[in-house]
Amino acid sequence: MKKLILPLVLLSAALLQACSQPSGEAPGAASASAAKPESALANTEERLSYGIAYNLGQGMATENFPVDVDAFMVGLADALEGKEARLTREELTAEMQSYQAQVVAQKQTAETAYLAEQGARDGVVTTKSGLLYEVVTEGEGGKPTSTDTVSVHYRGTLPDGTEFDSSYARGEPAQFRLDQVIPGWTEALQLMAPGAKYNLIVPSELAYGAAGAPPSIRPYSTLLFEVELLEVLPEEEDAAEEPEAAAESAAEPAAEG
């Protein structure tokens, strides 16, 4: 049991040493030497233990999950040694719910501020649902209904510019029924005629909401799209192909378009 815990203890010590490193010392060098002490990672058990801990730590860092390394190591050691938990299930659930509520509140506040800022820009229209759109090019002809199948080119990004999906990158337009994608797309495309190109800012509640679309789209994410409506397809030409993210969330009411 102690051998299994050893690499994790060493990882904890390395993290703590990196955090307490004097400002005059090069942090990169200190982290590198502490992360792989001579006595660690000498066998399969230690390397496997280190890898599990490292992957778990990466996930926590990616999600900005607050971790007290000392408390984390105590909890891990207690569980591995079969000791009774120091928190009841009710206490742990309460803490997790409280943390989740704080995160949701912070994300909603940030999203509200971002949408207000974007909605104040010249040329941006905000609909009753909260969808924001900007006309780049207007089209001509009849507009699709919610049960029509359309052919579109699009690019989806996060507010920080990270691209998560693009029909342009795949080299072919996407085809789908408007009632099979996220609400923001269903609404926006009914405002467009063939040939139109709009920039969309889709609030999280009109996109993936609390579920998100891992790994690219986190819960409560505002999504940005460049959308070009190529044509409204005749009923007999309806195609089954959907945008990549839409297909991944076909079972969800907020499927990505």
Output the six-digit token pair for 178: 């408007």
pLDDT value for 63: 75
Strands 223-233 and 197-202: antiparallel
pLDDT value of position 16: 39
Query: How do the domains of the chain map onto residue ranges?
Result: 2-80, 125-248
Report the alpha-carbon distance of residue 247 to residue 58 in Å, rounded. Answer: 28
Residue 65, pLDDT score = 82
Q: What's the pTM value of the predicted model, to 2 decimals?
A: 0.69
Query: Is 182 a residue of the active site?
Result: yes
Mark whether 225 is an active-site residue.
Answer: yes
Active site residue 164: yes
Q: Which residue in 50, 176, 198, 208 is the catalytic one?
A: 208
Tens digit of pLDDT per residue, the chain (257 long)?
333 333 343 344 434 333 333 333 433 333 433 444 555 788 999 899 889 989 998 888 877 788 899 999 999 999 999 999 999 999 999 999 999 899 899 999 999 999 999 999 999 999 999 999 999 999 999 999 999 999 999 999 999 999 999 999 999 999 999 999 999 999 999 999 999 999 999 999 999 999 999 889 999 999 999 999 999 999 864 444 444 444 343 334 344 44
Backbone phi and psi for residue 177, each to the nearest 5 degrees, phi listed first: -80, 145
Rounded CA-CA distance 248/250 in Å is: 6
Within 8 A by CB and 6+ apart from 46, the residues are 3, 6, 7, 40
Q: Which of these is catalytic: 50, 165, 217, 220? A: 165
Write down the catalytic residue from 50, 133, 148, 154: 154
pLDDT at position 23? 37
The highest-level CATH class for domain 125-248 is: alpha beta
The gap between the terminal CA atoms of the chain, to the nearest Å, is 50
148 is catalytic: no
Instruction: Please indicate whether residue 217 is annotated as part of the active site.
Output: no
Supply the pLDDT for residue 243: 45
Select from 150, 154, 149, 136 the least CA-distant residue to 197.
Answer: 136
Rounded (10°) angle between helices 27-35 and 2-19: 180
Structural Rg of the chain based on CA atoms = 25
Half-sphere CA count of 215, side-chain side, radius 13 A: 3
Distance, in Å, from the CA atom of 126 to the CA atom of 187, rounded to the nearest integer, reads: 12
pLDDT on residue 39: 52
Q: Would residue 78 show up in a list of annotated catalytic residues for this protein? A: no
Asked if 202 and 223 touch (Cβ cutoff 8 Å), the reply is yes
